[in-house]
Chains A and B, each alone.
Chain A
Amino acid sequence: MKMIFRIIFLSLLFSWVGVSQAEYKCFYGNLHAHTDYSDGVSTPDTAFAYARDVAQIHIQALTEHNNGGSFGGVSYSITPEHYQNLRLIADTMTAPGRFVALAGQEVGSIGSSGFGHINIWEAPGLWPYNNTDLLGCYSWILEQGYPAMYCHPDSSWNSNFNDLYYYQDYDRAMDLIEVINSSSLYEDAYFRALEKGWHVGASANQDNHCKYYNTYTGKIDTIFDWGNRVNYYGNIPLTGVWADTLTKPAILEALQARRTTAMEVSPADDRINLLLSVDDRYQGEHFIRQEGEVKITIEASAATSFKSLYLYTNGIPADTFNLIPASNQTVWKLDKSIGLGTVYYFVKALQTDGDRAWTSPIHIDGVSEKSPVVTWPTPIKNFARIVFTPLPGAISVKAVIYDLSGQKIKEITGSQPDQPIGWDGKDARGRQVMNGVYFIRLEQRSATETRTSLGKTMVSR
């Protein structure tokens, strides 16, 4: 009897705040919703309060449409004044440790020349709308420095971000992609975005408007459902955000780090914890590692049992773990060998009731000890990543590029000590360098050591 109570207790605990062996906890959120500040109903205060008190989720974002005015003769775009007001309300409604309210905008590039919809959270202002300028939008997001997400990414939304074409220069602009929302499944778009090169994490949201056409009365019914909207498949889409604390800065950091799990929840308290780690690095991370064996750990827990876990390697379900008998808590460990080049892993989980969950990917750039500094690609045409053998415990990394005469062409500081350094093939003044051979001096620093490595590459355009 005690055992049964213990299981029930643990299940309830996991359904509220997911806890893993990791330093992070899973907080559940809905990152895509609207009020009458654009084309939804009611006020932001009401929406946040509903999500917090009724739906009992940890994070609610209101992402009002930013269409730069009207569309189809109806103006439902958020005004700059309303947006600033939304930011104030979100700050007021945020209670660290209990609830995080995010103010956002859904850039809605629409019409035949539009590119699709993108959510950006907590940016200080609205994007200066341009219906066709996808690259301008990416560029603006990069300048803002706040997380962003592809919304409902399929071709029904116009060019679908130029068919999710990968622009290396803007890779850091986009953090998440909706794998599922209230209307459709976008799993294919998630897979395709990763295949094309985007480093985006998985998200599942509800796109609440709280307006429903009543076929019996022919009128629009208002039904509040921020945070607990049941979608077309009979599930509640939620995004699990893995953060160390439930505060706005921690949640924004986790979103930008892509530490997320997209999930379908049914019933409402059957929230899923699904966490992927490779050598103690967590989903969403991107790092360089020497080729060889890696240890992969997948932790899964929920109220409903899991039927199967699938480990995807470079977009292909290469390993399957069938739980016999089905279990609502499991840890799946396996060893994999990585070679030269990029490999990414993510996990899809399937519960016995058919609900699904997807982790964000972990990207690993496998390098050889024999080539401490190289560029991908070689030769370089426009953009390359400088990859290197990481120094254990490194706290900073810097690449200095020289031409054959020994002239310093450019100095680039890495954003993370064990992540590739991007080089756009330009010198310090922003001019494309000439064709030829170039040298890279890489300086890595840890608390106790400074390591300098040399490499050579080639530019050929």
Chain B
Amino acid sequence: MKRFIIIVWAMVLAHTAQAQLLYWDLPTTAEQVVFGEGCFLQSREPQGLMQNPSALGFIKYRTLAASGIQWWQEVYGGSASAVLPVRRYGTVSLSLGYWSLGTLAGYSEDGRPMGTVQSQAANLGLGYGLVLADAWGLGLTLKSSRLNLPDRYDWGWSSDIALSYKRGLITGSLMVKDLGPDHPRNNDIRYPQNTAYMAGAGATYLDGKISGSAQYNIRKEQGGYPSLSLELAPLPSLNLKIGYEKVPELTDRSPLGFGIEINKLGRRDLSVAYGYRSYGDLGNIQAMTMGINF
């Protein structure tokens, strides 16, 4: 029993959610690309706005990470995160995200060229994690997003709450993600948050040479789907990553993601990671993340 934690999750769908895209839910880091939402449990590093806040408290070193992602169809994103342990008061994080959604040709209703139109999204996340009794991790993330459009902008906010239990090499976690008011706040057309409920367990073996996790996610629109993550370290500074996640609504997205990480470089524990996933005819996404611990 001590070697295994059995996570039992009971999930109640809060309300009828509506399909929507929130830019804080898009991956920007290499691990998010590989693991999808499985990164909430699998990742030990800061992950921009897709961060499990209950894991923050277990991080006892300052961390900086920056990521860039190439999406399909000339869309690019990026994020930067800083994690700062504050002694016994827990750990705080700050995440910034940015999406360039590209430049499009503008057209009138009858097809006359109308110059170009651009759109960008900017995200901000504040996280806080606390460890109780050396085993229980509690966490909260507040996040906001602003979408710039040619003649207006939309903004909204949301929150994630999470609970983790860590004993030895085993971790279990429960998380409720995207809790908040209808979005966006400044538009007559608003949508309920598509709240997600996630639960899972992860384990590390052979001195960290193998680690894996299994997580189950439920969103009202997408229904339930699992996220499976596996990480192998054939060499001390080399991690190979593979993730499996088949979201029913993302029909063109490959369920498999692949990645590689080189870490523990130099005195500052520098790491560089790369992630890749295919979206079929739509294209591929690939991301690079650089992190440093100090």
Contact = CB atoms under 8 A, between A and B. Distances in A.
Interface of A: 197, 340-342, 365-367, 371, 374-379, 387, 402-409, 427, 429, 431-432, 434-437, 439, 441, 452, 454, 456-458, 460-461
A456 B282 CA distance: 11
A436 B250 CA distance: 18
B281 A441 contact: yes
Interface of B: 18-21, 23, 25-26, 71-75, 101-102, 104-114, 117, 119, 147, 149-152, 154, 184, 187, 189, 191, 249-253, 279, 281-283
A168 B161 CA distance: 45
A366 B111 contact: yes
B26 A341 contact: no
A435 B252 CA distance: 22
B9 to A, nearest CB: 24
B117 A435 contact: no
Given A434-B191, A437-B119, A379 B112 contact: no
A375 to B, nearest CB: 7
A435 B75 CA distance: 16
Contacts of A432: 189
Secondary structure type dominating chain B contacts: loop
Contact of B106 (A378, A402, A403, A404): A378
Contacts of B119: 436-437, 458, 460
A377 B147 contact: no
Shortest 9 CB-CB distances between A and B: which pairs?
A: A341-B111, A460-B149, A342-B110, A437-B101, A376-B111, A341-B112, A403-B21, A407-B249, A378-B107
Contact of A374 (B107, B150, B154, B279): B107
A408 B187 contact: no
Nearest to A314: B110
B147 A435 contact: yes
Contact of B251 (A376, A404, A408, A437): A408
Contact of A377 (B23, B107, B154, B279): B107
B279 A406 contact: yes
Contacts of B110: 197, 341-342, 376
Given A406-B253, A407-B19, A407-B250, A441 B104 contact: no
Contact of A434 (B20, B72, B252): B20
Given A406-B250, A460-B150, A460-B151, A371 B105 contact: yes
A437 B105 contact: no
Contact of A461 (B72, B106, B187, B253): B187
Given A342-B110, A441-B282, A407 B21 contact: yes
Nearest to B153: A435
B73 A439 contact: yes
A436 B105 contact: no
Given A387-B111, A404-B75, A457 B104 contact: yes
Given A341-B108, A375-B107, A376-B107, A402 B252 contact: yes
Given A376-B108, A408-B249, 4 more contacts: A403-B19, A405-B26, A436-B147, A458-B101
A6 to B, nearest CB: 47
Contacts of A441: 281-282
Nearest to A363: B110
Secondary structure type dominating chain A contacts: strand
A263 to B, nearest CB: 29
Nearest to A457: B104
Contacts of A375: 107
Contacts of B150: 379, 458, 460
A434 B249 CA distance: 17
Contacts of B154: 434-435
Contacts of B75: 404, 437
B108 A377 contact: yes
A20 B151 CA distance: 51
A454 B111 contact: no
A435 B151 contact: no
Contacts of B109: 197, 376-377
A342 B111 CA distance: 6
A379 B117 contact: yes
Contacts of B249: 407-408
A436 B149 CA distance: 8
Interface centre among B107, B113, B150, B152 (most CB of A within 10 A): B107
B281 A456 contact: no
A286 to B, nearest CB: 12
Contacts of B281: 441, 452, 454
A378 B19 contact: no
Contacts of B283: 454
7 contacts: A341-B111, A371-B105, A377-B114, A408-B251, A456-B102, A458-B101, A460-B119
Nearest to A441: B281
Contact of A379 (B106, B111, B147): B106
A427 B19 CA distance: 9
A374 B105 contact: yes
Contacts of A405: 21, 25-26, 250
A454 B19 contact: no
Contacts of A365: 111
Contacts of A458: 101, 104, 117, 119, 149-150
Given A427-B19, A460-B150, A404 B282 contact: no
A405 B25 CA distance: 9
Nearest to B121: A436
A5 B23 CA distance: 79
Contact of B282 (A340, A402, A460): A402
Nearest to A432: B189
Contact of B152 (A197, A404, A427, A460): A460
Nearest to B183: A434
A241 B106 CA distance: 39
A461 B189 contact: yes
A371 B279 CA distance: 21
A436 B73 contact: no
